[in-house]
Amino acid sequence: MQVIGKEEFSDSLIALQGDLAAPFTPVSLEEGRRIVLEQFGISAQLTRFATEKDDTFRCDCSSGQSYVLKIANPQESPIELSLQIEVMQHIGRRAPQLPIPRVYPALDGGYLTTVVTASGESRQVRLLSFLPGTPLDKTTLNAQGREQIGQLLAHLRLATADFAHPAESR
């Protein structure tokens, strides 16, 4: 397995990420398939997303359903991950029409579960719905597109107006 170390990151990225730039061993596609099956009961083909600090996979099932498996950096704080999960759940309740990922529980009922990887690292895992589309950096936005993004951001702000979490002031 390939170990990603600090020497492969720019100095500015290391400064921004702090401990998240610590070396870790990436999870293979095969191990990701095992994790999503054992933890969520989902058999899928996985495709790795390029990410800066964790292992993230698109999980495509034969049923046509797609998910995103996120295996957090070993240094990622569980309280930060809890914030991410809880804000998505809050928005889902307050504004279910908004296009945000939905969080799925693991077989044990939790939305954040711990696995020990083949390299012996303890990693936090969560499963989200996959939102199809084109990344903004791959498009050319016109005025209407920019307006739609502004409207979406306004709706997100309204949906989170009453959200509170211990890690929100990070």
Q: What is the pLDDT of residues 79-103, one digit of tens each?
A: 999 999 999 999 999 999 999 999 9
Instruction: Report pTM.
Output: 0.84
Close Cβ partners of 114 (under 8 Å, ≥ 6 residues apart): 122, 123, 124, 125
Neighbours of 59 (CB within 10 A): 23
Q: What is the CA radius of gyration of the chain?
A: 17
* E strand segments, 72-112: 103-104
User: Does residue 164 sit within a domain?
Assistant: no
**Would residue 167 count as lying in a domain?**
no
Tens of pLDDT, residues 3-35 = 444 444 444 444 445 555 667 889 999 999 999
In a domain, 170, yes or no: no
| Domains in the chain, number | 1
What is the overall mean pLDDT for the chain? 88
What is the domain range of residue 143?
Answer: 6-159
> Does residue 1 fall inside a structural domain?
no
CATH number of the CATH domain containing 49: 3.30.200.20
Domain assignment of residue 15, yes or no: yes
Spatial separation of the C-alpha atoms in residues 43 and 66, rounded to whole Å: 11
Cα 163 from Cα 90, distance rounded (Å): 7
Q: 168 lies in a domain?
A: no
